[in-house]
Chain A
Amino acid sequence: MQQMPSDTAAVILRATDTPTTPEAIEAMRERLGLNRPLPIQYLDWLWHVLRLDFGRSFITGKPVLQEVMNYLPTTLMLMTCTTVLIVVISVPMGIFAALYRDTVFDQFSRLFAYTGVSMPSFWLGFLLLYVFSFKLGWFSVTSRGSIVDWILPSITLAFAPAAVYARLLRGSMLESLSQNYVLYARARGLSERLVVLRYVLKNAFLPVVTVFGLSFAHLLAGTVVVENVFALPGLGRFAVQSILNRDYPMIQCYVCLTAVLFVVVNFGVDLTYSYFDPRIRLGNQEI
C-alpha cells in the first residue's frame, strides 16, 4: 500500500501549504509513523482496525471513520436510487422481451443491452448533463438537496446494469417458460398473468439475483466515476481525492469498507435464495 515513488510526507506538507525542508519532511514522517518498517506498519494498522480504529487522516487530522461517514450517505443514496431504477427498468423489459420474443420490442431490448455494456459511464453522464441540464434546462447543474438531483446520476449508473439484467432475465424467463410446471399451470387454466408472475418469474429471478450480488461491486466502482462527473460529495470522489493526496489511512479505510459492503450484500443475496427457491431452504430435510 505504501510503496510509492513520491515521498508521502512531502506531498502532505505541500497539501497543507508548509515549506518542504528536509527537516520538516523527517518530522512529518516521524509523526505519521512512516519511518517504521512496512510489516510493522501493516500489523499496527490491522490491530487498530480490529478495534474499528482506522486512524486519522494525514491531511485533515480527523478520525478517518468519521470522515468516511460524512461521505457515505451520498453514495448510499446514489446506490439506492440506482438499484430502484435498475429494477424498474430491467424487470418489465426482461419480462416483455421474453413474452414477445423476436418482436420489435425484443430487438429493441437487445440493442439496449449492447449499447448499455459498451457505453462508457462518464461519457453517458456528460451527454445527459449536456442534453438535459444545459440544452433543455430540466435539471440544474449545481443545486443539491432535492430528489431531482439524483435523477441524472442514477440514470447514468443504472444504464449498463439495467440493460444487462433485462437480457439476463429474458434468458432465464425463456428457460423457465419451457418447463413442465408452466405447462401444467396453463393446463389447469390459470390466467396467463398468474402463470407469468407466480410460476415463471419467481423461478427466473434466481440467476438474476446472483448476478446482481456479484456485480454490486461494479455498481460501487461506478459510483467513483459518476460522483466525479456530477460533482457529488460521495465516497468515490473522496477516495480519488485521497489517492491524489496520498492519504493512506483514508484509502485503506475506503478499500476495506467496499470489501465489507460487497461481502455483506452477497450474504444478503444468499439469504434471498431461500425465498425464490424453497428447495434451498429445506435443504437435505426429508420432504
Chain B
Amino acid sequence: MIIQRLLNHKLAWLGLSLIAIVLLISLFAPLIAPHDPLAVDLMKKLQPSSTTFPLGTDHLGRCILSRLMYGGQVSLSIALIVVMFTTLISLCVGLVAGYFGGRLDHGLMRLCDVFLAFPSLILSLAIVGTLGSSIGNLIFALVATHWAGYARIVRSRVLSVKESHFVQAAIVSGTRSLPIMLRHILPYTLIELTVLATLDISHIVLHIAGLSFLGLGIQPPTPEWGAMINDGREYFRRQPELMLYPGLMLFLTTLAFNLVGDVLRDVLDPRMEKQMRVKTLKTKLENG
C-alpha cells in the first residue's frame, strides 16, 4: 500500500533507481572494477582518461574509476550500521522514557539535551579525534551524535500513542509493560523512524565524507569519496576531475536518499492525506 503510493511519485522513482545503481555498483565493485583500487603505480600518476583508465589516475597512479566504485562500500555500510544502532538505542530510550514517564523520563531527556547541545559534526570530531580514527570509533562517534534526536521523536510519538484507547485498555486489562510497549506502541513509532532514517542516511554519508575530508574519518588507502576529494585538493588546478568525480558520486547518493525520504514523508504524513481530501473536495465544489 505504502510502496504502491511511493511508486506513484516520479521523484521516488528517480531516487530509488539512483540508490539501486549506487548499491549495485558498490556491491559488485570487485567484479566490475577495471583495476585494483589500491594498486599504486607511480609511473602512471595523474593521467588523463584513457582506454585503460577510463577516468584517469590519481596522484599515486591508482585507477579513479575503480576507487569510485569501491568508495561507496565503506560509507554506505557504515551509514547503515549507524542507522541500525541509532534506531535500536533511540527505540529503547524513547519507549522507556515515554512509557514510564516521571523521573526516569526526565533524566533521559536531560541526557538527550546534553547531546543535542553540541553540534553533531564537532562532537563527533572530538570523539574521533581523541579515540583515534578507526572505523569502530567512527561508528561510535556517529551513533553518539545521532541517537538523541531520534530518541526525542520516538518519545513524543510514544506519549501520543500511550493516550489512545487501545493502550489504555491493554493497561487496564493487566497486560505487562513489556508486551504493551513491544506489541502495541512499537509499531506506531516505526513509520516515523523509517522516514527519519532514510533522510538521515544522506546526512550520515555526508558526515562520514566530511570527517574523512578533514583526515579524521576513514583512513587512506581505503577508497572513500570524502578522502578522495581531500587527496585531490593539491592537484585541483591541474586536474579538477580528481575532486569532481567523487563529489558527484556523493552528491548523487545523498540526493537519492533525500528524494526517497521526502516522498516517503509526504506519503506517510497523515496531514497530507487530509490536505488531499480537502483539495479534491474543493475541486468538486468548484466544478459544481
Contacts and interface: CB of A to CB of B under 8 A. Distances in A.
Contacts of A126: 229, 233, 236, 240, 243, 247
A228 B216 CA distance: 13
Contacts of B233: 126
Interface residues of B, number: 38
Interface string A101-125: 0000000000000110111111100
Given A217-B119, A217-B120, A255-B123, A117 B258 contact: yes
A213 to B, nearest CB: 12
Contacts of B243: 123, 126-127
A4 B255 contact: no
A129 B125 CA distance: 25
Contacts of A123: 229, 243, 246-247, 250-251
Interface in B216-237: 216, 226, 229, 233, 236-237
A22 interface: no
B130 A244 contact: no
A255 B215 contact: no
Contacts of B214: 224-225, 228, 240
Contacts of A5: 131-132
Interface stretch (A55-63, A86-94, A145-153, A257-265): A257-265
6 contacts: A126-B229, A127-B244, A127-B247, A130-B236, A240-B215, A251-B126
A130 B240 contact: yes
A84 interface: no
Contacts of A246: 130
B241 to A, nearest CB: 11
3 closest A-B pairs by CB: A243-B129, A123-B247, A221-B121
Interface of A: 1-6, 114-115, 117-123, 126-127, 129-130, 134, 217-218, 220-222, 224-225, 228, 239-240, 243-244, 246, 248, 251, 254-255, 258-259, 262-263
B129 A114 contact: no
Q: Among the interface residues A122, A130, A224, A259, which one has the most CB atoms of the partner chain B within 10 A?
A: A122
Given A224-B214, A228-B214, A243-B129, 9 more contacts: A5-B132, A126-B247, A127-B243, A129-B236, A217-B120, A218-B119, A222-B121, A243-B216, A248-B130
Interface of B: 117-123, 125-126, 129-132, 202, 206, 209-210, 213-216, 226, 229, 233, 236-237, 240, 243-244, 246-247, 250-252, 254-255, 258-259
Contact of B210 (A114, A120, A262): A120
Contacts of B213: 120, 122, 225, 228
A228 B131 CA distance: 22
B131 A4 contact: yes
Contacts of B206: 120
A255 B118 contact: yes
Contacts of A115: 255
Contacts of B255: 114-115, 118
Contacts of A2: 130
B226 A120 contact: yes
A159 B255 CA distance: 15
Given A123-B243, A123-B250, A239 B119 contact: no
B224 to A, nearest CB: 12
Contact of B132 (A4, A118, A121): A4
Contact of A258 (B119, B132, B236, B252): B119
Contact of B130 (A4, A118, A134, A254): A4
A251 B122 CA distance: 10
B131 A118 contact: no
Contact of B122 (A4, A6, A239): A239
Nearest to B248: A123
B131 A255 contact: no
Given A117-B258, A228-B214, A243-B216, A1 B236 contact: no
Contact of B254 (A120, A218, A221, A255): A120
A262 B237 CA distance: 37
A258 B124 CA distance: 13
A119 B126 CA distance: 24
Contacts of B125: 224, 239-240, 243
Given A5-B132, A221-B120, A114 B229 contact: no
A4 B97 CA distance: 33
B247 A120 contact: yes
